[in-house]
Amino acid sequence: MNFVIGLLAFILMLGVIIMIHETGHFLAARAFGVHCHEFSFGMGPALWQHQGKHTLFSIRAFPIGGYVAMAGETADEEDEDEDNWLKHVPEQEKLNHKPAWQQVIIMGAGVVMNFLLAWVLFSGILAAQGQISQDALPVVYEVLDNTPAAKAGLKAGDTIVKVTSEDGSVLEPETQNDVLEFMQYNHGVSTFEIERSGETIIVKMQPELDEESQVYLLGFTSQGRVRKINLIEAVGEGWNEMVSSTQAIVRSLGTLLGGKGLDSLSGPIGIYKVTDQVVSYGLIPYLSLCALISLNIGFFNLLPIPALDGGRILITLLERIFRRKIPMRIVQGVILASFAALFGLMIFSTYNDIMRFF
């Protein structure tokens, strides 16, 4: 049952995020008078279709992704045959006959919607649960297995009142970071005064060095302080959260381009595994993950790779700057090559997932 719930949550997340992205393209295209032949939710055989005034709306069998078939997006007029729906579309309703600035807005609208979705989700989460500050109280939230804290018998809800090191140094912590910093200079056995359910107990713990981070740890986590905020504040803080998360994505990309962290690159399997874990924690963590995935998909689509929105925007701008059209066969060849490269990246990331999880 857990597998089914995790899989459904994964499919729902990607389906909604990609459809929000495609909705951005569709709304912008229609606003500028570009003919959209079909707006499809999902891929594969059609399960349901409705012919609107200008557009065929479809629900297809596989709810991963979707697409908007815009006139003039990939095909050129000389490639049309008698049965091609493009044959009957006026030139002024084709994307490639619109001014460059309109093309850029249409192609960038999907990314804007991804960022807007993340902003709405972050703002909603903050409005619902409040803002968690970084200065967590010295209160145990979770005890990790096989750690000094677990061996000493710490429990969730324990409050660290005082710490005395072997050399007699005393700490009365105000935050969890105070305890962490104290441990970096006191590696021996320290005495901890703990308040538990109104009683005071004494335990002894010696921090252990984490080889990866080179930080001395006790093996418990704490939660930040929660500050209730109103909706207007939540919108502002949601924006800040979106900006800081985007900055983290940029830093991660820079690390990958530098050749570091390639072994940690995740594909669909990795995203599913994370989704499966996060769903078990509740709705708020799941929505946070949705916001982060939406940001990642939006940012990834903005990269100047011809198969992606960012690459098509770049081609449009280059044509505008040099005032000449790039031959369609060259554009399609470059797009095909970039699709092949992206497919290779997906295979590599999937291989990483398989080696990591199986």
Helix, strand or coil, per DSSP, at residue 311:
helix
Task: Kindly report, residue by residue over 57-106, the tens digit of the pLDDT.
Answer: 999 888 777 889 998 886 454 455 544 777 778 888 988 889 999 999 99
Helix, strand or coil, per DSSP, at residue 191:
strand
Q: Which run of H or of E encompasses 205?
A: strand 199-205
Structure tokens given for 323:
């005032």
Give the per-residue pLDDT at 161. Answer: 95
pTM of the model: 0.73
Residue 22: active-site member: yes
> In 3D, which of 245, 220, 223 has the Cα closest to residue 134?
223
CA distances to 221, 230, 234, 242 from 126, rounded to whole Å, are 21, 9, 6, 12
| Residue ranges with strand state E in 3-85 | 36-51, 56-70
CA 357 to chain centre: 20
Helix, strand or coil, per DSSP, at residue 232:
helix
Q: Where does CATH 2.30.42.10 sit in the chain?
A: 142-224
Exactly one of 22, 73, 237, 241 is catalytic; which is it? 22
Question: What is the residue whose two structure tokens read 């790779």?
Answer: 305
**Dist CA 340 CA 167 (whole Å):** 63
Give the per-residue pLDDT at 82. Answer: 43
Report phi then psi at 57, rounded to 5.
-95, 130
Under DSSP, the state recorded for 88 is G
Under DSSP, the state recorded for 113 is H
Give the per-residue pLDDT at 99. Answer: 92
Question: What is the residue whose two structure tokens read 């939540």?
Answer: 234
Structure tokens given for 52:
């609107």
Give the per-residue pLDDT at 78. Answer: 46
**Dist CA 197 CA 191 (whole Å):** 19
**SS3 annotation, 248-295:** HHHHHHHHHHCCCCHHHCCCHHHHHHHHHHHHCCCHHHHHHHHHHHHH
pLDDT tens for the chain, residues 1 to 358: 577 888 888 888 988 999 999 999 999 999 999 999 999 988 889 999 999 888 999 998 887 778 899 988 864 544 555 447 777 788 889 888 899 999 999 999 999 999 999 999 999 999 998 887 666 788 998 899 899 999 999 999 999 999 999 989 999 998 888 999 999 989 999 999 999 999 999 999 999 988 777 889 999 988 777 778 899 999 999 999 999 999 988 887 777 777 665 666 666 777 778 888 888 888 988 999 999 999 999 998 888 887 788 888 988 888 888 888 777 677 667 667 766 766 666 675 665 555 555 5
Task: Kindly report, residue by residue over 175-220, the tens digit of the pLDDT.
Answer: 888 999 999 989 999 999 999 999 999 999 999 988 777 889 999 9
Helix, strand or coil, per DSSP, at residue 61:
strand
CATH 3.30.360.10 describes domain 142-224: no
Give the per-residue pLDDT at 287. Answer: 94
Report phi then psi at 67, rounded to 5.
-160, 160
First-to-last C-alpha distance (Å) of the chain = 20
Give the per-residue pLDDT at 114. Answer: 96
> In 3D, which of 332, 296, 302, 324 has the Cα closest to residue 314?
302
**Which residues 6+ apart lie within 8 Å of 204 measured at CB?**
152, 189, 190, 191, 192
Give the per-residue pLDDT at 357. Answer: 54
Give the number of other Cβ atoms within 10 Å of residue 213's Cβ: 8
Radius of gyration of the chain (CA): 26
**Dist CA 31 CA 73 (whole Å):** 16
Q: What is the dihedral of CA 334, 340, 345, 348, to 10 degrees?
A: -160
Under DSSP, the state recorded for 189 is -
**SS3 annotation, 128-165:** HHCEECCCCCCECCEECCCCHHHHHCCCCCCEEEEEEC
Diameter over CA atoms, the chain: 90
Residue 357, amino acid: F
